[in-house]
Amino acid sequence: MSAHGKLVYLIGAGPGDPGLITLKGTECLKKADVVVYDYLSNPRLLSHCRPDAEKIYVGKKGSQHTLEQEEINQLLVEKASAGKVVARLKGGDSFVFGRGGEEALALAEAGIPFEVVPGITAAVAAPAYAGIPVTHRDLTSTFALVTGHEDPTKEESAIDWAKIATGIGTIAFYMGVKNLPRIVERLIKHGRSPDTPAAVIRWGTMPRQQTVVGTLADIVKKVKQAGLTAPAITIVGEVVKLREQLNWFEARPLFGRKIVVTRSRAQASEFVEQLEALGAEAVEMPTIRIADPEDFGPLDKAIDNIESFHWIVFTSVNAVGRFVEQLLQRGRDIRDLKGIKICAIGAATADEVREYHLRVDLVPPKYVAESVVEALQQAGEIKGSRFLLPRADIARSLLPDEIHRLGGKAVEVDVYRTVLEEEADADVIQRLLEGDLDLVTFTSSSTVRNFAHMLGKERLAQIQSKTGFASIGPVTTQTAKELGIPIHIEASKHDIPGLVEAIKRFFSETSLSHG
Ligand code: SAH
């Protein structure tokens, strides 16, 4: 599958959950020089692309087209003709109401080679995430995909309603929210029982998925009451009843909760993954950024004399990667760490050390300096030993003090620096002001300070009644209080899993309704 330009991949991006693209789809994205993407394809998928790939948004939200179809066809032909590998990324499957057929025809006419990578279409994925299997041996043997977008003023329908209404078990209507009253009316008029179960699923497979269930008789009213709008898929048929037992996705503990993560992007992934695994929408708003230390000098000196140390104590996940990187930079590698013991503060830090195929000799049970020193003492003599502490510039110095008190030598070197993220995400701030986000999380004092700085006094005051605040531990909580930010949740175990646990408990105890 080597690509040398002049090729278009028509890729189905899947229904929204970024995990629901195919392996082949991601492989093709990696190869693309140009990516042309839509409203319904999750922008997070663009992270599979090369950083230097040209990314072109061609929109299409209902009738608001950024580019007309004809222009999109033209764009694909042009880019490919210029010798580029083009990835055309479309929501769901390109050939299911995706106008991928038209694009492929335009390419064929222009003599441009193309490949089609199918995707999971909304009519299968959204009901699956709503707990509705589209077929079931006892309930239906047929399943139809129908457009609900037909012009209602059209005299002659292209849809044979009489046959659809009674001849098919499960019917999925795409693009049918606006037309729902007419769809339901026609189904009933042509003989489908008003008691037939129906469901409308909006933003299926996404953390903001919303499902309304009823029957043909009342679904229109219920959808209106819920204020459900596009994009949504309508499923009609007996299979909808299975949702009562199979609704797994919306039943997860943090489903529908919108939680702001203020850590740096480099540090956020573990937290984001854990929140999402529980069903939350994790909204990243980095308040800090990891940067190089002001001066690599002390670190380099320590690396050059690495054999003089008895221990390396890693105090954070970031310190590990940064240290190893600089080790390589200095022309050395992990073989030069032979004989040196490694202590990791926190399970996540220990895991990161193991990523580099290094053994962790000690993970102290608690993170406070006294406890670390106690553990070090049990693992060997502190007196006369030399400890290297690669750390962030703002680390607190309790640990080296304790080591010195006991006759050891602690050498602290900066391996990274946390700096204020200058660019505040206007979109997230807007959502905070609108009260659209349920919780803001703080994982260190600097995240609190920078968050307060980013919002400014006035806006900070405005959002206080509109969102909750969670803190990883007492030190962070104290900083928040000093800045006038009320903390509603404090983790009793001061790491990411501990914070996630506290958030889960909080939401299971509150009866706050959410949509
Ligand atoms: N090619 C796409 C369909 C594009 S038509 C596919 O195969 O899924 C656009 C319509 O698809 C929307 O109006 C809606 O009816 C449906 N749709 C797409 N993504 C959806 C989602 N995540 N949840 C519910 N419906 C979705």
Strand partners, 314: 344
Q: Is 413 helix (H, G, I), strand (E, B) or coil?
A: strand
Q: In whole angstroms, what is the distance from residue 25 CA to residue 15 CA?
A: 13
pLDDT at 60: 61
Is-catalytic flag, 17?
Answer: no
Across the chain, which has 515 residues, the per-10-residue mean pLDDT values are 76 95 97 92 88 88 70 95 96 95 96 98 98 97 92 75 96 96 96 98 95 98 96 98 97 95 88 94 92 94 97 92 95 95 92 95 86 89 94 76 93 91 88 96 94 94 96 96 96 94 92 46
pLDDT at 151: 66
Catalytic position from the list 175, 206, 285, 454: 175
Is-catalytic flag, 175?
Answer: yes
pLDDT at 157: 80
- pLDDT tens sequence across 128-181: 999 999 999 999 999 999 999 876 567 678 899 999 999 999 999 999 999 999
Look at the pTM and tell me if it is higher than 0.85.
Answer: no
Residues 6 or more apart from 44 whose CB is under 8 A from it? 18
Take atom 20 of ligand 1 and give the residue whose Cα is closest: 122
Indicate the burial class of 241 (C-beta count within 10 angstroms; 0-12, 13-18, 19 or more). Answer: middle
Take atom 18 of ligand 1 and give the residue whose Cα is closest: 122
Q: Measure 273 CA to ligand 1 centroid, in angstroms.
A: 25
Domains and CATH numbers, the chain: 7-119 (3.40.1010.10), 124-246 (3.30.950.10), 258-287+422-509 (3.40.50.10090), 291-419 (3.40.50.10090)
Strand residues in 114-155 grouped as ranges (E): 114-117, 143-147
Q: Measure 310 CA to ligand 1 centroid, in angstroms.
A: 60
Take atom 9 of ligand 1 and give the residue whose Cα is closest: 175
pLDDT at 1: 42
Nearest-10 Cα torsion for 72, 78, 81, 85: -50
pLDDT at 149: 85
